[in-house]
Structure 1
Amino acid sequence: MSFHTWFLFATAYLVTTISPGPNVLLVIRNTVRFGGRGTAATIAGNLLAQLVVVVLVALGVGAVLAAMPPLFLAMKVLGAVYLMVLGVKQLRSRKPMATASVDALSAQPLDKRKIFREALLVSGSNPKTLIFLSAFMPQFIVHDQPLPAQFIVMYLSVACIVALVHTIYSLGVRRIHSGLGTSRWMKAVKRCSGLIFFGLGIKLLTAKQA
C-alpha cells in the first residue's frame, strides 16, 4: 500500500470516526464515572471489536451478511436490544453520584473486565459497521500486493485513529468535568447517556439495510 493510498484511507476513516456514536458516548460516560482508567478499558474493548470486524471483512463475512437479509435483521435486532437495555440500566441506576473532582474518581470501584466487555459488545453490536467496512476497505486495496499486509496496515491505522479520537473526547470531558465538578453534572451525563443509548438502539432497529 502506497503512502498516498494509506493517507486517503486514514483521512476518510478519520472523518467517519470524529462524528459521535455509541462508542464515543461510552468513552464519555466511563470517563465521567471512572476517569482515565475507565477510558483505557473502554478503548481497549473497542479496539478488540474493531480487530474482529476487520478480520471478518478480510474473510468476506460482511459481503455474506449483506446478501442474507434475515441474518442481518437478527444481528440488528440483537444489537439494538443491547443498546436499549444499556440505556434503561443507566436511567434506572440509583447509585449515588460521587466526588466533585476527576482525580477523586480513582476512588470509585472499577471493574475493568466489565467495562472492557461492555465496550466490546457496544462496538460490535451494529452489523452495519461490518457492512460499511466491507464496502469501504476494499476501495483502498491494491490487488497486486499481498492482502494480509494491507489489512494489517489498515487495522493499525483504524486502531490509532480510534484511540486518538476517543482520547481527545475523553480529555475534553475531563476538562469540562474538572471545571464543573458537581454531582448534578454527573447525574445529567448519566441520564443523557441513558436516553441517547436508548435512542441509538431505536435508530439501529429502524434502520434499513444499506
Structure 2
Amino acid sequence: MDIVQGLPAFIVAVVLISASPGPAMALIFRRAALHGFRSSVATVLGLEAGIYLWALAAGAGLAALLAASHTLYLTIQIAGACFLAYLGIRSWAAVLRDRRTDAADPGRADPPPPQTSTRAAFGEGLVVQLANPKAAVFMFAFYPQFISADQPLLATTAALALLQVGVETTLYLALAAGVARAGTRFRRPTIRRRLEAVTGTVLIALAGRLLLTAR
C-alpha cells in the first residue's frame, strides 16, 4: 500500500483505537478531574511516549520477539496488571482514608485534592503504556498494513508513529480539557470520593482483564 494513499485509513483507525475505553482513558479522566488540565498534559505525554517507544520496537523487530516469547510476554503482562491494580488500590485507599477522617472530624474543612508532580504524572502514563504487552503486539500487526515492502521499515514506522502520537495527543488533550472545565464539581469531597472509587474499580478490572485475557 502506498503510504500517502493509506493515511486516511490509518488516521481513522487511530481515532477509533484511541476512543476505545482502556487504562489511558481512565488515567486521563481521573487526572483531569482531580488535578486539572495542566497535570493531565503530563499524563497524556507519558502515555504517548510509551506508545511511540512500542512503535519503534515494532519497527526494529523487537515486538516480533515479544510476540514469539511466551515468557517475556507473560512477564510484562503480569507487571502491567500489577501496576494497574496498584493504581486502583491507591484510589480506593484514598476513598477509605477520607471516609475515616470525615467520621473522626465531621466539621473539618474540605481538604484540597493531593498534588502530584508533573514528573510523577508523566511517569505514571509512561509505565502504564510500557507495561502493556498487547500494545507492542498490536503495533507489530497493525503498522505493516500501511507499509509497503519497498519502504524502510524503521523510518516509515517512526513517521507513522509520530502521526499517531499527534492524533492521539490532540484527542486526549481535548478530553482532558473538557473534564478539567468541570473540575470544580469533581473536586467536591463527596464527588471526588465517588470518582476515586469508580476509577479504582475500573483500573482493578482492567488489571484483571489484562492478566486473564489470552494473547
TM-score range, shorter chain: 0.7 to 0.9
Q: State, as a whole percentage, how many aligned pairs show the same letter.
A: 27
The Cα of 1:63 is off from its aligned counterpart by 1.3
Whichever of the two has the greater Rg, that structure is 2
Match of 1:145 among 144, 151, 164: 151
Deviates more, 1:165-174 or 1:81-90: 165-174
The Cα of 1:180 is off from its aligned counterpart by 6.4
Matched residue, 2:203: 197
The amino acid across from 1:170 in the alignment is: A
Matched residue, 1:170: 176
The Cα of 1:144 is off from its aligned counterpart by 1.7
Match of 1:111 among 108, 117, 124: 117
**TM score, norm. by length of structure 2:** 0.86
Q: Aligned partners of 2:42, 2:185: CA distance in 1, in Å?
A: 24
Moved over 2 A (4+): 94-99, 145-149, 174-183
User: Is the CA contact (8 Å cut-off) linking 2:88 and 2:203 kept in structure 1?
Assistant: yes
The amino acid across from 2:180 in the alignment is: R
Give SS of 2:171's match: helix
Matched, 1:136 2:142: yes
Q: CA RMSD in A?
A: 2.0
The Cα of 1:98 is off from its aligned counterpart by 4.5
Q: Aligned partners of 2:62, 2:25: CA distance in 1, in Å?
A: 25
Change in 2 beyond 3 A, CA 1:153/1:98: farther
Deviates more, 1:147-156 or 1:194-203: 147-156
Change in 2 beyond 3 A, CA 1:164/1:204: same
Change in 2 beyond 3 A, CA 1:181/1:78: closer
Give SS of 1:20's match: coil
Matched, 1:40 2:41: yes
The Cα of 1:157 is off from its aligned counterpart by 1.2
